């Protein structure tokens, strides 16, 4: 393992439309590791133009793909990115400084995200500041085993950097709905594995509460119509996730509905 060096790890599948911008923002890194799960477009060719080391791994889930990528990295420090994320110049300079100084006090760093939906930066509604642990020492961190919303488990102390990552997700409503369908499916699978039973609150109340909280109380309306559309879809996401969980648990029947009302009455 090379000390005072950085490996950037990325997982891909058919990312030709966006991967170039990501790779261009990290071409200064000592090593770029790409784990592809079977792209049929020009993703791999684009990655090789940036001298990335490309590995193939059959899709095994987000966490396993990312941990496999980490295992292939040869540097002391790891920066984990998604294909639709761009490292800012300020963050680049900060990361270089962290690696050069090699301060033993911290083993990982959280990075602030600017999230773009429908090509607009959404600043309000609880979307900013949005911090994620993405920079860490290789032997100190790995992704937890989850179906979705995987996070890095760090063995050691962490701090925060000032530089930002620009996250260009869901350029269109079509993209957002596609992502909703994919991610709610994974969440429902995870809920079933964890025996996380839907309730009257999570089905009927939480989606509505979530919209009012983020759109009104956290000023999501200040992001204009883009913000309104995002928060409507985000609340719908919560409802769809619970309905899919009901389907996967095979409890879509009158007895389940009766149990929801019984629980509601018992709370009173």
Question: Do 154 and 191 belong together in one domain?
Answer: no
- Same domain? For 47 and 152 the reply is yes
* Same structural domain, 103 and 155: yes
Q: Are residues 217 and 237 in the same domain?
A: yes
Q: Which residues contact 218 (CB under 8 A, 6 or more apart)?
A: 124, 125, 126
Report the distance separating Cα 10 and Cα 17, nearest Å. Answer: 15
- The whole model's pTM is what? 0.91
Rounded Cα distance, 57 and 20, in Å: 21
- The last residue of a domain, from among 138, 168, 198: 168
What does the pLDDT average to over 168-195? 95
Domain C-terminal end among 168, 199, 232 = 168
Q: Do residue 105 and residue 220 come from a single domain?
A: no
Q: Are residues 184 and 147 in the same domain?
A: no
Q: Dihedral (C-alpha) 40, 42, 44, 47: value to the nearest 10 degrees?
A: -160
Whose structure tokens read 């994974």? 186
Looking at the structure of the chain, the number of domains it has is 2
- For 138-163, what is the mean pLDDT? 95
Last residue of a domain, one of 127, 150, 168: 168
Over the stretch 217-242, which tens digit does the pLDDT of each residue have?
999 999 999 999 999 999 999 999 99
User: How confident is the model over 61-99, as pLDDT tens digits?
Assistant: 999 999 999 999 999 999 999 999 999 999 999 999 999
| pLDDT band of 268, cuts 50, 70, 90 | very low
Residues 161 and 227 placed together within one structural domain of the fold: no
Average pLDDT, rounded, for the chain: 93
Same domain, 163 and 179: no
Say whether both 49 and 81 belong to one domain.
yes
Give the CATH number, domain containing residue 98. Answer: 3.90.550.10
Q: Which domain holds residue 177?
A: 173-267
Crossing angle of helices 224-249 and 173-193, rounded to 10°: 30
């Amino acid at each position: 393992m090379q000390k005072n060096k950085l490996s950037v790890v990325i997982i891909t599948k058919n990312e030709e439309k966006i991967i170039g911008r990501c790779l261009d923002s990290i071409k200064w890194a000592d090593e770029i590791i790409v784990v592809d799960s079977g792209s049929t477009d020009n993703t791999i060719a684009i990655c090789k133009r940036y001298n990335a080391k490309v590995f193939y791994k059959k899709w095994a889930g987000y966490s396993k793909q990312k941990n496999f990528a980490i295992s292939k990295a040869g540097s002391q420090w790891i920066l984990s990115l998604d294909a639709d994320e761009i490292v800012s110049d300020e963050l680049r300079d900060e990361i270089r400084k962290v690696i050069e100084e090699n301060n033993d006090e911290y083993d990982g760093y959280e990075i602030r995200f600017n999230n773009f939906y429908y090509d607009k930066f959404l600043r309000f509604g609880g979307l900013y500041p949005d911090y994620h642990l993405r920079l860490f020492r290789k032997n100190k961190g790995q992704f937890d085993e989850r179906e979705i919303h995987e996070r890095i488990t760090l063995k050691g102390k962490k701090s925060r950097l000032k530089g930002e990552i620009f996250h260009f997700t869901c350029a269109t409503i079509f993209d957002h709905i596609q992502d909703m369908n994919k991610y709610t499916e994974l969440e429902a699978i995870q809920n079933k594995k964890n025996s996380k039973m839907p309730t009257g609150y999570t089905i009927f109340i939480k989606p509505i509460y979530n919209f009012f909280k983020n759109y009104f109380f956290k000023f999501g309306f200040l992001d204009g119509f883009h913000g309104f559309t995002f928060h409507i879809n985000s609340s719908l996401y919560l409802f769809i996730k619970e309905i899919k969980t009901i389907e996967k648990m095979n409890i879509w029947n009158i007895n389940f509905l009766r149990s929801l009302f019984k629980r509601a009455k018992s709370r009173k």
